């Protein structure tokens, strides 16, 4: 069996909105995620319509906005990075908050305090030989652009975004080698508010979706959502390709990856109809990489747009822009697999994604996410065949409710089991000949959940003493998985017991 490469980038992943806090400090502006309010420990919140945004503004003083608190990384980054170093991290995935540099997005020059904050974080990481892996946009944009342009739906945002992205490369290119452009770029088509700052019913009347049992949309909503989100996606592809080219031209030491949420799908039965559905959904999932890694829209996607009556306003010279901005590596988040059926009565639709059905052969987490390391191995092989590029797995993990025992310890054996099985699958994929360069499990330190904006769904090796309402000391402590992962890194993935 092949071993992990010598310089394998073991680490962990976070994002600015979910860890920093200090949202209104030192001149920082508010981003669209700062308006997402907590609705309960298992209620998804990241789908906002006009009524939700209005409520967030109207009741700003009394609603609970966990992203504004994060885990106080803004003040505690030195202590946090020391803990990551103690585990032996080689790589730390973080994002930069657009509004810490450009509070409204409209400023001509960035805020020096924000600029310095990220220099300080990078300095601290390098002190321990930890390579930063920086997401330029992890689900965040100045709220100004939601109000002015309905987020990424309008091409008007592109010049402002390019000013921010170019600044990142110019300012930090000597400290940051690995960059990702948009976090989970495919999410804009599934959750347009989260991925694109789009308020779907800003200009049209839409029925209310049922948010309690996952996202289920009436057909009118799905239609508007497909049209708006694919237009927004197009603008994100353009900005991404432009910054990749800019970095290639001006910062040849930097490597830039895409980032998509890998969703592995099996057909429910061996019927050709189910097999075709699974093929179609897999192609849809890969499409996001196709554009960013191959530099063009695949022919089938243009025909999909035609068949679904989605009319994209193509950006001037988009073909040239995309072909000149191909990424250097593929990066992905992977949490779960699911199965699909061709039976129209049993479909659950999320935007252009089919929601999967339960797979009786695999277990699920307590949040219903289906745990399937083998699907990761299969997909890694498929990605190798399709793109022949290095692959960085920048998110993976299991979210759970956790409470310390009487001795204040967290015995997270389920997390160890989950990560062990996924690391084994990655090792097998490396043995299959896949060039995997790094692995940064999600939420290496407990942080605010993205879908639920809660603290109580935890992913970390490090526990943070804070609850959904912001009570607690915010003190950090080591879970059992902390010591286990330290051993994994020290043995370069050989000791997984």
Residues assigned a catalytic role? 184, 395
Residue 9 bridge partners (DSSP): 438
Residue whose CB is less far from ligand BG6, 88 or 441: 441
What values do phi and psi take at 95, rounded to 5? -125, 165
CB hemisphere CA count around 363 (13 angstroms)? 8
Rounded CA-CA distance 231/198 in Å is 11
Residue whose CB is less far from ligand BG6, 214 or 408: 214
Asked if 115 and 35 count as a contact pair (C-beta separation under 8 A), the reply is no
The b-or-e profile of 29-65 (16+ CB within 10 A means b, else e) is: bbbbbbbbbbbeeeebbbbbbeebbeebeeeeeeeeb
Asked if 259 and 182 count as a contact pair (C-beta separation under 8 A), the reply is yes
Rounded CA-CA distance 386/156 in Å is 33
Q: Which residue has the tokens 């930890």?
A: 130
Residue whose CB is less far from ligand BG6, 150 or 454: 454
Residue whose CB is less far from ligand BG6, 240 or 341: 240
Distance of CA 44 to the CA centre of its chain: 16
Rounded CA-CA distance 492/481 in Å is 16
Rounded CA-CA distance 177/161 in Å is 21
**What's the min distance (Å) between Cβ of 480 and ligand BG6?**
20
**What's the min distance (Å) between Cβ of 449 and ligand BG6?**
4
Pairing mode, strands 348-350 and 353-355: antiparallel
Residue whose CB is less far from ligand BG6, 261 or 285: 261
**What's the min distance (Å) between Cβ of 369 and ligand BG6?**
8
Return the ∠ at Cα 92 (arms to 433 and 432), rounded to 5°: 10
The residues, ordered by sequence, that sit 6+ positions from 317 with a Cβ below 8 Å of its Cβ are none
Say which DSSP state 221 is in: H
Residue whose CB is less far from ligand BG6, 341 or 481: 481
Binding-site ranges for ligand BG6 (CB under 6 A): 15, 183-184, 261, 333, 395, 399, 442, 449-452, 457
Q: Which residue has the tokens 């965040």?
A: 140
442 SS3 class? strand
**What's the min distance (Å) between Cβ of 67 and ligand BG6?**
11
As given in the structure block, the two tokens for residue 398 are 């299991």
- How many CB atoms lie under 10 A from the CB of residue 20? 30
Residue whose CB is less far from ligand BG6, 168 or 453: 453
């Amino acid at each position: 069996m092949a071993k992990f490469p010598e310089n394998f980038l073991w680490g962990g992943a976070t994002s600015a909105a979910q860890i920093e806090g200090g949202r209104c400090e030192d001149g920082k502006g508010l981003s669209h995620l700062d308006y997402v309010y907590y609705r309960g420990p298992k209620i998804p919140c990241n789908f906002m319509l006009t009524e939700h945004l209005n409520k967030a503004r109207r009741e700003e003083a009394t609603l609970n906005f966990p992203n504004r608190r994060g885990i106080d990384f803004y003040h505690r980054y030195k202590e946090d990075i020391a803990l990551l170093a103690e585990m032996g991290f080689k790589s730390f995935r973080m994002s930069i908050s657009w509004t810490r540099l450009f509070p409204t997005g409209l400023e001509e020059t960035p805020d020096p305090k924000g600029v310095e904050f990220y220099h300080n974080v990078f300095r601290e990481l390098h002190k321990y030989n930890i390579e930063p892996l920086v997401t330029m946009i992890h689900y965040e944009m100045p709220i100004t652009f939601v109000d002015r342009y309905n987020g990424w739906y309008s091409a008007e945002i592109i010049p402002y975004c390019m000013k921010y992205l170019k600044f990142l490369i110019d300012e930090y290119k000597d400290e940051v080698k690995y960059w990702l452009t948009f976090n989970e770029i495919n999410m804009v088509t599934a959750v347009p508010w989260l991925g694109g700052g789009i308020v779907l019913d800003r200009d049209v009347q839409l029925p209310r979706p049922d948010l309690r049992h996952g996202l289920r949309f009436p057909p009118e909503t799905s239609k508007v959502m497909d049209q708006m989100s694919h237009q927004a996606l197009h603008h994100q592809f353009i900005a991404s390709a432009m910054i990749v080219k800019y970095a290639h031209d001006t910062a040849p030491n930097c490597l830039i990856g895409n980032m998509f949420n890998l969703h592995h799908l099996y057909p429910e039965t061996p019927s050709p109809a189910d097999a075709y559905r699974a093929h179609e959904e897999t192609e849809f999932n890969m499409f996001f990489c196709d554009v960013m890694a191959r530099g063009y829209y695949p022919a089938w996607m243009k025909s999909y747009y035609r068949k679904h009556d989605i009319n994209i306003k193509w950006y001037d010279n988009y073909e040239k822009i995309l072909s000149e901005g191909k990424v250097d590596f593929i990066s992905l988040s992977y949490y779960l697999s699911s199965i699909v059926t061709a039976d129209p009565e049993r479909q659950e639709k999320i935007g252009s994604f089919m929601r999967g059905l339960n797979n009786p052969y695999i277990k699920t987490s307590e949040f219903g996410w289906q745990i399937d390391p083998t699907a990761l191995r299969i997909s890694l092989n498929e990605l190798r065949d399709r793109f022949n590029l290095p692959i960085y797995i920048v998110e993976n993990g299991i979210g759970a409710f956790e409470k310390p025992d009487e001795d204040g310890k967290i015995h997270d054996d389920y997390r160890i089991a989950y990560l062990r099985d996924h690391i084994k699958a990655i090792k097998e994929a490396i043995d299959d000949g896949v060039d995997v360069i790094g692995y940064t499990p999600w939420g290496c330190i407990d942080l605010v959940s993205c879908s639920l904006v809660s603290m109580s769904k935890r992913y970390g090796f490090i526990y943070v003493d804070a609850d959904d309402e912001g009570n607690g000391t915010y003190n950090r402590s080591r879970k059992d998985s902390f010591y286990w992962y330290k051993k994994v890194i020290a043995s370069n993935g050989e000791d997984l017991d």
